[in-house]
C-alpha cells in the first residue's frame, strides 16, 4: 500500500466517522429510556436498594442522554450543525471547569474551611462527569435552538 | 454582515417557510439569517443567489467594521 492510497483510506474512514448521527426517532427513544431509568433510580434509592437495578438505571440514563445527544433534528441543516458544535464545545469546557471545581483538593479545602473538622478527599465520579457533560450539551443545545427561533 | 434577505424574499413574495423549503433548510435558519444572528455558508449563499438570480454581493454586504478590518489586514 503506497502513501497516497493509505491517505485515501484514512480520509474515507474519517468521512465515515463524521456520519455518527442517528435518525430523529432515536431522540424519542432516548427520552423514554431516560424517564424509565430516572424513575427506576428514584424508586431504587427510596425503597428497594438493589445494586443491579442501581447500575442498570445508571447505564439507562447515560445511554438515553447519549441517544438524545447524537440523534438528528427533523431538519438537520447547517444552522443546527453549528449550534450542535457550539453546545459540544460549551459542554466540554463547562465539564472540565466543574470537574476542576469539584476536584478532591477543592473539596478538601472547602471541608476544612467549613465547620467539619476533617477534610474528605471525595471527587466527582466518572458517571457524574459523563452525566454532567451530556446533560449540559443537551440542555444548552435546546437553549440555543430556542434563542435562534 | 448586513443582508437584504428579507427584501429579496418580499420581492419574490415568499414566506420564510417557503424560502426555507426551496433551499432545503429550516424556517429557523432563514429567520436567524434575516436577524443577522447567523452567517450562512458559501453553499447556502450560492443557493440563495441561484434562487434570487442575483450575485451574492447584491444581498450580502460586509458592515463597516468588517470592511475596516479587511483594509487594515491588506
Distance from CA of B27 to the nearest CA of A (A): 9
pLDDT in tens, chain B (74 residues): 888 888 989 998 999 999 999 999 999 999 999 988 899 999 999 999 999 898 998 888 888 777 777 666 65
Residue ranges per structural domain of chain A: 1-72, 75-149
- Out of 1.10.10.10, 3.90.1170.50, 1.10.260.40, 3.30.230.10, which CATH number does the structure's domain B2-73 have? 1.10.260.40
Q: Are the beta carbons of A149 and B44 separated by less than 8 Å?
A: no
For cell 443537551, what's the residue?
A: A138
Closest residue by Cα to residue A149 from B23, B8, B9, B27: B27
CA dist., res. B36 & res. A58, Å (int)? 42
CA dist., res. B18 & res. B14, Å (int)? 6
Closest residue by Cα to residue A64 from A29, A19, A24: A29
Please identify every stretch of chain A with a pLDDT value under 70, giving residue numbers as ranges: 1, 103-104, 106-107, 110-124
Span B3-16, pLDDT tens digits: 888 898 999 899 99
Residue ranges per structural domain of chain B: 2-73
Q: Which residues of A touch B24 (CB under 8 A)?
A: 77
Q: Is residue B3 classed as helix, strand or coil in its secondary structure?
A: strand
Distance from CA of B18 to the nearest CA of A (A): 14
CA dist., res. A124 & res. A135, Å (int)? 15
- The separation between the first and the last C-alpha atoms of chain B, rounded to the nearest angstrom, is 19
| Contact status of B42 with chain A (Cβ, < 8 Å) | no
Instruction: Look at residue B67 in the predicted model and tell me its pLDDT.
Output: 73
What is the H or E stretch that residue A138 is in?
helix A126-147
Among B19, B25, B26, which would you mutate to test the A interface (most chain A Cβ atoms within 10 Å of its Cβ)?
B26
**CB-nearest partner of B37 from A77, A80, A148:** A148
Amino acid at each position: 500500500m503506497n502513501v497516497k492510497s493509505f491517505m485515501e483510506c484514512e480520509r474515507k474512514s474519517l468521512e465515515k466517522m463524521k456520519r455518527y448521527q442517528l435518525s430523529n426517532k432515536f431522540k424519542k427513544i432516548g427520552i423514554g429510556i431516560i424517564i424509565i431509568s430516572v424513575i427506576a433510580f428514584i424508586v431504587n434509592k427510596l425503597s428497594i436498594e438493589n445494586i443491579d437495578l442501581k447500575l442498570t438505571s445508571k447505564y439507562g440514563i447515560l445511554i438515553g442522554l447519549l441517544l438524545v445527544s447524537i440523534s438528528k433534528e427533523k431538519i438537520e441543516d447547517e444552522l443546527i450543525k453549528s449550534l450542535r458544535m457550539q453546545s459540544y464545545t460549551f459542554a466540554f469546557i463547562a465539564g472540565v471547569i466543574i470537574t476542576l471545581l469539584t476536584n478532591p483538593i477543592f473539596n478538601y479545602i472547602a471541608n476544612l474551611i467549613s465547620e467539619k473538622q476533617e477534610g474528605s478527599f471525595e471527587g466527582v465520579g466518572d458517571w457524574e462527569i459523563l452525566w454532567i457533560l451530556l446533560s449540559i450539551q443537551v440542555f444548552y443545545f435546546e437553549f440555543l435552538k430556542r434563542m435562534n427561533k | 454582515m448586513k443582508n437584504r434577505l428579507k427584501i429579496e424574499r418580499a420581492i419574490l413574495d415568499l414566506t420564510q417557510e417557503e424560502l426555507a423549503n426551496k433551499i432545503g433548510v429550516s424556517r429557523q435558519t432563514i429567520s436567524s439569517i434575516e436577524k443577522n444572528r447567523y452567517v450562512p455558508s458559501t453553499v447556502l449563499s450560492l443557493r440563495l443567489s441561484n434562487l434570487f438570480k442575483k450575485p451574492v454581493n447584491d444581498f450580502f454586504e460586509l458592515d463597516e467594521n468588517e470592511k475596516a478590518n479587511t483594509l487594515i489586514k491588506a
